[in-house]
Amino acid sequence: MIVVDMELPNVWGGGQLFAYSGVEGETDWYHPFVAKTLPDKLGLSFFTEAERRLWITINLDGVVKESLPGRGETAFKEFKPEVVSSDLIDAAVIPEDGYPEVRVTYLFLNKDVIIGRVVWEGEPTLEVEPKTTIRNGEEERRDGATLQRNEEENTALVVSGGDGLLNFAYSFDPTDVDDAYAKALSALKEDIDEVYERKVGFFKGLPRPEAGFPNTLLERTYYKAFSVLKVNVESPVGRIPYHWTTPDRFPHRYMWLWDSAFQAQAYKYISPRLGEEAIMAVLSTQREDGFISHRMGPGEKDTTRFTQPPILAWATWDIYRYTRNKSFLEYCYPRLKGYILWDLRNRNYNKRGLLAWMKVEEAHPISGSRGGESGMDNSPRFDGPGNDDAVDFNSFIANDLEYLAKIAEETGYTEEAELWASKRRELIRLINKYLWDDEDHFYYDLNSEGEFVKVKTAASFTTLFAGVARKEQAEELIKHLTNPEEFWTPFPVATVSRDEPTFSKDMWRGPVWINYNYLTIEGLERYGYHDIARELAAKTLDWMAYWYEKTGVIWEYYDWEGKVNPRDLPRKGGVGEKGGLGFGVIGDYNWSAAVYIILTLKYNRQ
């Protein structure tokens, strides 16, 4: 065992991502070899077309032990994970009373190969075997190796060693099972301690909060968040010439616009260049007319007709403040300008000078993504017909105009800086003229008939983030925000007010989204509500750490009560596989992890 003098993530939970990262080398987006931890065994399940599993079994004189404690007759007596990260697993088990401890290590060596080791000593003797299975594929044994194949997917498990020490390699090849076998044989020659040290070295190179960590759990969650960031990096491929990031390597395999903006702000702590590239990758897919798709991939056809919240200029400026790399601004500025102008020209549906998201009216309000362009897919804001002038869209544009002006000034485009400042002032005037309701003291969307869409959601707090609200309006918004009967739930901030008839625990219809908490915290700071901002940051960090300790995962969204395991929350109408598109709440979600890091470094406390 290698001694690690840090509190690294060590919670096991089913569904944790495990894959090779573009931070370390080349990935293969077209032929991904990506896994998740099994809920019931010390092993992995792979997101291959034909599902594969890899785990450890221990034979005690004919009695097989292979399950985690509490999982029936085959359960280990004890399970002690030391490190559980996105490319390194190091755990010990005691199979039964009176038997020696067995230590198991899994490491991602490269995009196609996992190497591992099993170590034990003492009496009585054990039979330890790494095992693998394939569903709906072919399997053969060759010289003690297990070879698996199905159409365009091949894997090989090779084991060497004997009593007290086993080394193994599990490899993937998209074309030939013999190549997979050769990769596994070659990988057995690797120095596993050296690879282990390299994985730990990633964590040692990260910044630590100046005030340290108030407890071990928050430290482990912090490094877990960086582990999530690491696993969600892809190397340059196809039309994307830079390292780029995903919300989660599965199922959201593509690059997403506003996700990338949040994520980039944390990636700069891994590497300033990585933070820059996360933005540059998005901008590199821009069309000539300025449009940027909400979802992008390596191919020219990996695009949609939808965009997403315009927060790229804000994120660009954040990274520039950290790097002071003016060439980065010079690359981004004309592309950011083109994108903002495209939004202003193409989303003014109701001809008021305000912007509206392009709604998908044929989609089901709950199980579909009517409001997908806004990022708030099934928010009840979008239950009605038509494209409504949107408080968040206009606030995001107003905010990005502010940062576009800063970038223009910094890069020498002084006259253009004034143009963006002027557009921002006019947009703020229109938002306050049309979208503020004097009766409810709240911002609402406005439909094509000029009527308020009276659904109170967290989208209205983007007016604080963007500096749109006047002082007296901000005071009223804070009353709504901090009201326990509206948004200030046990785990704040609910995305829909509790007194709304549509309030629920389904995705954007009530649950807490960490990116929106971040936007709200930024807005509170902007208006001088520093104590509330700190309180919200602390609650966000503490609740995320609480659920990490319970599940081993950083989640896409959370129960506003803090009672329901995020795994069991509905997502677009159903839980788990019964959710929209066949999956439930996403685990090891990148922007949630990014915000955890950002808030930890900003609000670290003893």
Q: Is the peptide bond before 380 cis (omega within 30 degrees of 0)?
A: no
Q: Is 515 left (phi over 0), alpha (psi -120 to 50) or beta?
A: alpha
Q: Crossing angle of helices 216-231/192-204, nearest 10°?
A: 110
Q: Does 2 have pLDDT greater than 80?
A: no
Strand pairing of 138-142 and 145-150?
antiparallel
Nearest to 87 by CA among 10, 27, 169, 18: 18
Mean pLDDT for 306-324 is 98
- The distance from CA 485 to its chain's CA centroid, rounded to whole angstroms, is 29
How many residues are listed for the chain in this entry? 606
Q: How many CA atoms lie within 13 A of 407 on its CB side?
A: 29
What six digits make up the tokens of 486?
Answer: 């509206």
What pLDDT, on the 0 to 100 scale, is given for residue 162? 84
Question: What 3-state class would DSSP assign to 562?
Answer: coil
Question: Which class in CATH covers the domain with range 17-190?
Answer: mainly beta
Q: Does 120 have pLDDT greater than 90?
A: yes
What pLDDT, on the 0 to 100 scale, is given for residue 152? 84
Q: Does 606 have pLDDT greater than 60?
A: no
What pLDDT, on the 0 to 100 scale, is given for residue 440? 98
* Dist CA 115 CA 189 (whole Å): 10
Strand pairing of 153-162 and 233-234?
unpaired
What pLDDT, on the 0 to 100 scale, is given for residue 4? 66
Q: What is the DSSP letter of 586?
A: P
Q: Is the peptide bond before 493 cis (omega within 30 degrees of 0)?
A: yes
Cβ neighbours of 39 (radius 10 Å): 15
pTM of full prediction above 0.85: yes
Provide the mean pLDDT of the chain. 96
Question: Which class in CATH covers the domain with range 224-603?
Answer: mainly alpha
Q: Are the CB atoms for 430 and 443 separated by under 8 Å? A: no
Burial class (CB in 10 A: 0-12, 13-18, 19+), 412: exposed
Q: Where are the domains of the chain?
A: 17-190, 224-603
Q: Mind listing the pLDDT tens digit for each residue in 435-454? A: 999 999 999 999 999 999 99
Intra-chain end-to-end CA distance of the chain, in Å: 31
| Greater model confidence, 580 or 237 | 237
Q: Mind listing the pLDDT tens digit for each residue in 193-228? A: 999 999 999 999 999 998 899 999 999 999 999 999
Mean pLDDT for 173-183 is 97
Q: Does 563 have pLDDT greater than 70?
A: yes
Mean pLDDT for 242-258 is 97
Mean pLDDT is lowest, of 77-81, 384-388, 534-538, 581-585, for: 581-585
Q: Does 427 have pLDDT greater than 60?
A: yes
Q: What are the counts of helices (DSSP H) followed by strands (DSSP E) for the chain? A: 14, 22
Q: Are the CB atoms for 411 and 333 separated by under 8 Å? A: yes
Q: Are the CB atoms for 604 and 222 separated by under 8 Å? A: no
Nearest to 160 by CA among 128, 198, 188, 124: 188
Q: Mind listing the pLDDT tens digit for each residue in 45-80? A: 999 999 999 999 999 988 999 999 999 999 999 999
Mean pLDDT for 330-338 is 98
b/e code 208-247 from CB counts within 10 Å (16+ = b): ebeeebeeebbbbbbbbbbbbbbbbbbbbbeebebbbbbb
Q: Mind listing the pLDDT tens digit for each residue in 397-412? A: 999 999 999 999 999 9
Band (pLDDT 50/70/90 cuts) for residue 5 is confident
CA Rg, the chain, in Å? 25
b/e code 273-296 from CB counts within 10 Å (16+ = b): bbbbbbbbbbbbbbeeebbbbbbb
What pLDDT, on the 0 to 100 scale, is given for residue 133? 96
- The distance from CA 14 to its chain's CA centroid, rounded to whole angstroms, is 16
Burial class (CB in 10 A: 0-12, 13-18, 19+), 358: middle
Q: Does 503 have pLDDT greater than 60?
A: yes
What pLDDT, on the 0 to 100 scale, is given for residue 207? 96
* C-alpha dist (Å) from residue 573 to 58, 507, 548, 568, 584: 41, 9, 24, 12, 10
Q: Mind listing the pLDDT tens digit for each residue in 87-112? A: 999 999 999 999 999 999 999 999 99
* Dist CA 62 CA 430 (whole Å): 76
Q: Are the CB atoms for 496 and 503 separated by under 8 Å? A: yes
What pLDDT, on the 0 to 100 scale, is given for residue 581? 76
Q: Does 460 have pLDDT greater than 80?
A: yes
Q: Are the CB atoms for 199 and 568 separated by under 8 Å? A: no
Helix (H) or strand (E) holding 266: helix 257-267
